[in-house]
């Protein structure tokens, strides 16, 4: 999809993705108010710069014409190289809300490709596919098709949540594999919001994940806040010169699980807890640590908000303190304590051998990414 901004004329390309682009939310939600020609409204809080491509230094430019009659050839076109990703629903609303003079939606209202007529298309950059390799049209199209396939697969696999009270299931061949989230240091406001299809009504659990922390300090990897407790369930990883531990909050009560593990590579963390005894255990790369106790007899409350990479404060919203910086994959939550064998199987690189959670299922539970979280290609087994 293409949006024309007339100054002279700039062109933004929109590509269909699974995740909502929150910078466009206010703009798109107000389209109904200007549905017909002649209507107008003011939006005072819009951040125009955030709606533009992140890289505005790469663009193409050429002398062209208007796209509507009388089609005068007097326009300087600027086409940005970097596309903007909107969710499928956002693009549908852009296409289906605004009406033309004949009360028809502004959909597929583009002109067909026109002859060059000796025009020269200039570029502000030298397009390359890799070091020392100039781009070729067939290679670009091939890569775009691969990207389109990934986005389509991601959209399909993230519309259903895990099943509760059933045996864990394995990755299906149709599931996008692998899925890696990259929380970059320059985007400390980034997080991933999970849309659980089943409530977090837990009297025991296992949480497993692979993380690659990229800076020292305290990293909040998972946070779940209910109506009554900001820290209904929160897990943080502390890595610095003097302290190495995993912090666990349950029902606003905290316990630390110390360890001596240190690595600059991917690490598998599993945390188990049972309300029956209150016992909490930490597993790192299949090795168990000392058991500690908290909240015996407690049940984690449903109806909360589940996010990755940030501390969810029920009163103040999202906290940027102790933000996770690094890469994360294979995050799963079960509503029971896994066996030793099942926990150690989380280390496997075999695509069809690793069980996923029945409460939060990596690659299946729907996620919305905010504030610059990136999909990464560096999987732990590569």
pLDDT of residue 276: 93
- Mark whether 263 and 304 lie in a shared domain: yes
Residues 83, 179 within the same domain: no
Percentage of residues in the chain with pLDDT exceeding 90? 26
Q: Report pLDDT digits (tens) over 163-205.
A: 444 443 333 334 445 789 999 876 667 889 998 877 889 999 9
Pairing relationship of beta strands 75-80 and 9-17 according to DSSP bridges: parallel
User: What pLDDT score does 317 carry?
Assistant: 55
- For residue 367, tell me if it sits in a domain: yes
Mean pLDDT across 370-378: 83
- Read off the tokens for 99: 């009406």
Distance of CA 225 to CAs 229, 251, 273, 314, Å? 6, 9, 17, 6
Lowest-confidence range among 30-39, 242-251, 270-279, 285-294? 30-39
**Residues 32 and 173 grouped into a single domain:** no
Pair 100, 170 in one domain: no
Q: How many whole angstroms separate alpha carbon 276 and alpha carbon 298?
A: 8
Verdict on whether the full-model pTM lies above 0.75: no
Euclidean distance between CA atoms 2 and 7, whole angstroms: 15
Say if residue 350 is in the same domain as residue 212.
Answer: yes
* Residues 304, 254 share a domain: yes
The CATH number covering residue 299 comes to: 2.60.120.200
Report the side by side order of strands in the sheet with 253-258.
Answer: 253-258, 244-250, 233-239, 217-225, 305-308, 191-195, 366-370
Distance CA 22, CA 28 (A): 10
Residues 115 and 184 reside in one and the same domain: no
Same domain, 187 and 322: yes
Phi first, then psi: give them for residue 62, nearest 5 degrees.
-160, 160
pLDDT tier at 141, thresholds 50, 70, 90 = low
pLDDT of residue 336: 94
Q: Which residue has the tokens 């939600």?
A: 29
pLDDT at 152 over 70: no
Q: How far apart are CA 165 and CA 34, in angstroms?
A: 48
What does the pLDDT look like over 116-130, one tens digit per residue? 778 888 888 766 544
Total of domains in the chain: 2
Please check whether residues 38 and 170 belong to one and the same domain. Answer: no
* Residue where a domain stops, chosen among 125, 144, 175: 125
Q: Is 149 a domain residue?
A: no
Domain presence at residue 134: no
In a domain, 145, yes or no: no
Q: Is residue 349 part of a domain?
A: yes
Using one digit for the tens of pLDDT, what is the confidence trace for 60-100? 888 888 777 777 778 888 888 888 888 878 888 887 888 87
Residue pair 90/16 in contact (Cβ under 8 Å)? The answer is no
Nearest-Å Rg of the Cα atoms of the chain is: 24
Residue 32: which region, alpha, beta or left (left: phi > 0; alpha: psi -120 to 50)?
alpha
Token reading at 123: 């570029």
* Cα distances (Å, whole numbers) of residue 281 to 26, 64, 333, 346: 44, 66, 15, 16
212 and 110 co-located in one domain = no
Q: Per-residue pLDDT for 233 more than 50?
A: yes
Cβ proximity of 153 and 364 under 8 Å? no
184 and 97 share one domain: no
Range of the domain at 117: 2-125
pLDDT, tens only, 323-336: 899 999 999 999 99
Using CA atoms, how far apart are residues 320 and 309, in angstroms rounded to an integer? 9
121 in any annotated domain: yes
């Amino acid at each position: 999809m293409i949006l024309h901004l007339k100054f002279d004329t700039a062109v933004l390309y929109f590509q269909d993705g699974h995740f909502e682009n929150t910078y466009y939310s206010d703009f798109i939600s107000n389209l109904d108010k200007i549905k017909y020609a002649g209507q107008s409204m003011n939006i005072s809080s819009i951040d125009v710069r955030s709606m533009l491509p992140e890289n505005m230094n790469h663009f193409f430019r050429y002398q062209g014409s208007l796209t509507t009659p009388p089609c005068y050839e007097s326009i300087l076109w600027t086409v940005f190289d970097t596309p903007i990703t909107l969710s499928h629903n956002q693009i549908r609303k852009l296409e289906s809300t605004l009406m033309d003079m004949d009360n028809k939606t502004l959909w597929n209202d583009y002109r067909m490709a026109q002859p060059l007529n000796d025009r020269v298309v200039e570029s502000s950059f030298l397009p390359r596919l890799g070091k020392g390799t100039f781009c070729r049209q067939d290679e670009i199209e091939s890569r775009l098709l691969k990207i389109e396939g990934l986005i389509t697969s991601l959209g399909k696999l993230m519309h259903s949540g895990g099943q509760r009270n059933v045996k864990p299931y394995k990755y299906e061949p149709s599931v996008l594999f692998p899925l890696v989230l990259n929380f970059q240091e320059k985007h400390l406001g980034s997080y991933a919001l999970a849309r659980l299809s089943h409530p977090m009504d837990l009297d025991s659990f296992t949480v497993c994940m692979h993380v690659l922390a990229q800076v020292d300090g305290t990293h909040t990897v998972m946070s779940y806040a209910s109506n009554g407790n900001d820290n209904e369930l929160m897990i943080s990883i502390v890595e610095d010169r003097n302290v190495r531990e995993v912090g666990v909050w349950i029902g606003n009560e905290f316990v630390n699980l110390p360890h001596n593990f240190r690595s600059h590579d991917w690490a598998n963390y599993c945390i188990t807890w049972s309300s029956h005894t209150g016992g909490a255990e930490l597993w790192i790369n299949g090795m168990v640590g000392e058991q500690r106790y908290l909240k015996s007899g407690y049940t984690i409350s449903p109806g909360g908000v589940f996010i990755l990479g940030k501390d969810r404060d029920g009163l103040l919203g999202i906290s940027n303190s102790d933000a996770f910086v690094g890469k994360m994959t294979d995050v799963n939550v079960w509503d029971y304590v896994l066996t030793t064998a099942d926990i150690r199987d989380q280390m496997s690189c075999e695509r069809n051998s690793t069980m996923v959670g029945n409460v939060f299922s990596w690659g299946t539970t729907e996620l919305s990414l905010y504030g610059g979280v990136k999909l990464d290609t560096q999987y732990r087994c590569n």
